[in-house]
């Protein structure tokens, strides 16, 4: 009789432990995968969640220094998302352009065959979305 009561109590205890584990979100596999999401809500900055394109005004002769011709061009970032409030981070040959915070950057002192890598990371401030576009520009490639 005592053995039967003890067995029933053990079954209730085991049932309670199993139900507690089942209701615990930490043991849920999908909850674990959600915990890896960036807490800022912006997600992975390397993932392009909307697209950005470049437009350019065209190369123009800038100046002649020491017998070398230099050219300039204005590169404008054009986000495809229409919310209208963005931040821009420009890099030229991998170097952050701290002075350029708007939607365009000016390429200066480019020689005729110089290949320049231009990258712009655009963040939609309203939707916390990020897109990056990188492209090479050079007068001789035009």
pLDDT, average across residues 21-25? 42
Q: Is the pLDDT of residue 107 over 90?
A: yes
CATH, domain 52-141, list 3.40.190.10, 2.60.120.10, 3.40.50.720, 2.60.40.10? 2.60.40.10
- Using alpha carbons, list the distances in angstroms from residue 117 to 14, 133, 134: 64, 10, 7
pTM score, whole prediction: 0.63
pLDDT, average across residues 70-74? 94
Q: Is the pLDDT of residue 21 over 80?
A: no
pLDDT of residue 65: 73
Query: Residues 133-139: contacts with CB within 8 Å, 24+ apart?
Result: 133/51, 133/52, 133/53, 133/54, 133/77, 135/54, 137/56, 137/73, 137/75, 137/107, 137/110, 138/110, 138/113, 138/114, 139/59, 139/71, 139/73, 139/110, 139/112, 139/113, 139/114
Beta bridge partners of 129: 124
Domain locations in the chain? Answer: 2-34, 52-141
Q: How confident is the model at residue 105 (pLDDT cuts 50, 70, 90)?
A: very high
């Amino acid at each position: 009789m005592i053995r039967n009561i003890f067995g029933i109590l053990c079954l209730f205890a085991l049932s309670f432990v199993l139900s507690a584990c089942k209701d615990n979100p930490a043991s849920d596999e999908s909850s674990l995968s959600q915990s890896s999401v960036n807490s800022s809500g912006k997600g992975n900055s390397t993932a392009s969640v909307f697209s950005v394109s470049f437009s350019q005004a065209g190369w123009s002769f800038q100046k002649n220094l020491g017998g070398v011709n230099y050219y300039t061009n204005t590169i404008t970032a054009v986000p495809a998302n229409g919310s209208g409030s963005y931040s821009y981070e420009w890099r030229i040959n991998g170097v952050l352009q701290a002075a350029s915070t708007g939607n365009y950057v000016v390429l200066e002192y480019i020689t005729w065959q110089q290949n320049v890598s231009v990258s712009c990371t655009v963040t939609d401030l309203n939707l916390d979305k990020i897109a990056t576009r990188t492209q090479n520009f050079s007068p001789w490639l035009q």
